[in-house]
Structure 1
Amino acid sequence: MALLATLLGFGGTYLVPVSRGEFSGSWTLHVHGALAMGWVLMFALQPILVHTHRLRWHRQLGRVAVPLALAVAVTMIPAGLTQVRRDLAQGGGDSAISTLLGVFTSGALFVGLVVAGYRTRRTPEAHARWMLLATLVVIWPAWFRFRHWLPWVPRPEIWLALVLADVWILLAMMHDRVVRGAVHPVLLWGGLFVILEQTAEVLLFDSPPWRALAHIAWRVLGP
């Protein structure tokens, strides 16, 4: 699911233009994209290694999880700055700068979830669910880019970036309920926290406090 969402979400705005030699974005976008795709591929591969009893490979690959997550989060910043500059050049105004704050909140949330997953690596049920939540956070931009394929969807920041992006957490909870008889605490409390955090971002985006913090970050890191 994560891999398919990433391929579809970034297909029209990144993968296809790159394949045609028509992509003109900064090199930082390529670096961040490669790292984020590396995370998604690792997330897809790790369960396969477990189910095929290649636990040694699973553990060895898992050692790169935290460094890779940090690299993904750090490269979010120059990628976000590139996007702000592009949007400002197209007349985006203050709302373009406001997008920068979400880069920091998403990066911090992603790394925090990965660290929680790494710390619980000896508790498979908790470990797997922390990593699931981390991956759902990092692929959030892919769901939002579905707006390019579904331009008729109203309020894409609600229906695509929030509802579609987070419904997988609810489905995972339902799966837990059916299979385990109860929702795992990591999925319950961690999942609810992710949903509440992302809902707060949508509601607060471009509000005066949000805009003020985003402008501080822009003045420090911007042009």
Structure 2
Amino acid sequence: MVAATIDGVRARSRFYVAMAFVFLVVAFGGFVPTYWAKVASGSFTGAPILHVHGAIFFSWTVFFLVQTSLAASGRIADHRAWGIAGVSLATAMGFTVVLAAINLIKAAEAIGMGDGARRFTAVSLTALVLFAGFFVAAIVNNRRPELHKRLMILAMIVLMHPALARLFMTFFAPPGAIGPPPVFVAVPPGLVADLLLIPALAYDWRTRGSPHPVYLIGLGLLLAQQLLEVPLSQTEAWMQIARAVESLAG
């Protein structure tokens, strides 16, 4: 009986480490065509904040894999101690999302597409709110592992959207396209990112008989954010929010 319990714990640990590794591969691979390959060839022309933004976000995916591995190996005290650094890193991520959004608006304004960029910030800024919600809920429930680890999976799925969007842009953007795309093009990669939840749902179904409620609630929030960002971006209220964010740069 004890051996069976230990085997079950190890199997669950391996599953979450495997998910963390998948997130790392998606995060890196999604940006190969539009960022990593261009940086390697010296042809990337984006603003310096984009390098900072990319470095911090990729560091987070590595950090998440390390944290998951610590928990899986039973080093819970180390996992929690490093969690403090995770809070700082997540906070830095939030700041760089806002700065990258401002950079997008400024760059688009220079070519007469400022309003399009302001509308497109609905994608990144609403995703930031959703990520923050999942992350804060995970931290609040850090001593309830069944909730904590599932909330972190949901937070990571939010972060996979931009990486997959870059692949969509690489393969489907019309030749010669410039400036920010229309908001609706962000919906398909977001829905593809949601598919990363399927292994977690299936694993729950196999190990506990049904998906954990937090996954079902989280999936509803993911879909709501992705589908409502289009109509939201068309409202004057959002344009006012985007201008307020833009004004942070002075």
Q: TM-score range by the shorter chain?
A: 0.7 to 0.9
2: CA distance, partners of 1:43 / 1:76: 18
Corresponding residue of 1:62: 83
| Residue type of the alignment partner of 1:182 | S
Work out whether residues 204 and 212 of structure 2, in 8 Å CA contact, stay in contact via their aligned partners in 1. Answer: yes
1: CA distance, partners of 2:219 / 2:150: 9
Would you say 1:100 and 2:121 are equivalent positions?
yes
Would you say 1:159 and 2:159 are equivalent positions?
no
Correspondences of 1:1-223 after superposition (within 5 Å): 1-151=22-172, 156-160=185-189, 162-218=190-246, 220-221=247-248
Runs of 4 or more above 6 Å deviation: none
% of aligned pairs identical? 32
Deviations 1:59-91 (A, max 9, x none): 222221222111100111111111222233344
| Residue type of the alignment partner of 1:53 | G
Deviations 1:146-196 (A, max 9, x none): 11332179x742322x21021223442233122211211221212322221
Q: What are the ranges of 5 or more consecutive residues in structure 2 without an aligned counterpart?
A: 1-21, 175-183
2: CA distance, partners of 1:145 / 1:24: 16
TM-score, normalization by structure 1? 0.86
2: CA distance, partners of 1:23 / 1:157: 22
Partner SS for 2:142: coil
> CA shift at 1:116, angstroms?
0.8
Q: Which structure: larger Rg?
A: 2
> CA shift at 1:104, angstroms?
2.9
TM-score, normalization by structure 2? 0.78
2: CA distance, partners of 1:98 / 1:66: 29
Query: Compared with structure 1, are the counterparts of its residues 201 and 141 closer, same or farther at alpha carbon in structure 2 (3 Å cutoff)?
Result: same
2: CA distance, partners of 1:217 / 1:47: 34
Work out whether residues 66 and 111 of structure 1, in 8 Å CA contact, stay in contact via their aligned partners in 2. Answer: no
2: CA distance, partners of 1:91 / 1:213: 20
CA RMSD of aligned residues (A): 2.3
- After superposing the two structures, state which structure 1 stretch, 96-105 or 38-47, moved more: 96-105
> CA shift at 1:212, angstroms?
4.2
2: CA distance, partners of 1:206 / 1:143: 24
Q: What are the ranges of 5 or more consecutive residues in structure 1 without an aligned counterpart?
A: none
